[in-house]
Copies of this chain bind each other. A is one copy, B any other.
Amino acid sequence: MTVSHSKWKSMKEELEALLVILVLARFGAVNRYIRISTRKIANVLGFSQQSSSRIMRKIAERGYISRKVTPKGEEVKITEKGLSIILKYYEELGRVLKTVSPETIVIRGIVTTGLGEGRYYLMLNGYIKQFREKLGFKPYPGTLNLKLKNLEDVVKKARLLKTPGIIIEGFSNGIRTYGRVKAFKARINDLTDDVAVVLPERTSHGFDILEIIAPFNIRERLGLKDGDEVTVTVYLQ
């Protein structure tokens, strides 16, 4: 549902219809016919009765409203098509607003020593190239493993599994295949913004482990040791 492939004239006409529909909606023409005159609409929107008449005819012809004209006035109702353009723009605007104020999830975990698997995977070129492109950095070879001790935090991790995120595609090196990895940009202890949570699709970790990568050695940079508690703020978009 994009605006981009429509043409300017039809888009402007659609918006003209949208303005009129918004006024009609305010008068209650959503699920029933309302009695209203072209002059009334003209006064509310600020144009002439003649223009109002012309616009109402055009909008009705395009199927946005349904109208019954009588010498006493007209009865108007917004059609499904009329409502659908409201929804169309509502969603388009919502999409833009989402990018403005990204939602975050805050997860708490305990620094743990992993099996060194992360170090192995992160050195594979098939992943490194994509991390560079999609996350904007070449990861330090080694993940920071956090153990999620509270059920609450495990549930939050589960939410990440359902969120689209940044997809790092799987690949094959001729010998074996490596699965997709989902990533989210993140922040640790509100100090550094350049890290990312990685969720491999095929993982050997339990549900209670969160893996984090960064362009540097996180333990060194933040002076972390096993058992320390850290707060990870995950950017969902």
Contact = CB atoms under 8 A, between A and B. Distances in A.
Contact of A4 (B5, B43, B93, B105): B43
B46 A5 contact: yes
A154 interface: yes
A93 B96 contact: no
A210 to B, nearest CB: 16
Interface residues of A, number: 61
Given A45-B8, A90-B97, A100-B31, A3 B15 contact: no
Contact of A15 (B19, B96, B100): B19
A178 to B, nearest CB: 13
A46 B4 contact: yes
Q: Within the oligomer, what is the number of copies of this chain?
A: 2
A100 B26 contact: no
B23 A12 contact: no
Given A6-B46, A19-B12, A23-B4, A93 B102 contact: no
Given A30-B100, A87-B155, A87-B158, A92 B22 contact: yes
A182 to B, nearest CB: 14
13 contacts: A3-B22, A5-B47, A7-B46, A8-B45, A30-B99, A31-B101, A83-B97, A87-B159, A89-B89, A90-B93, A93-B93, A162-B179, A162-B202
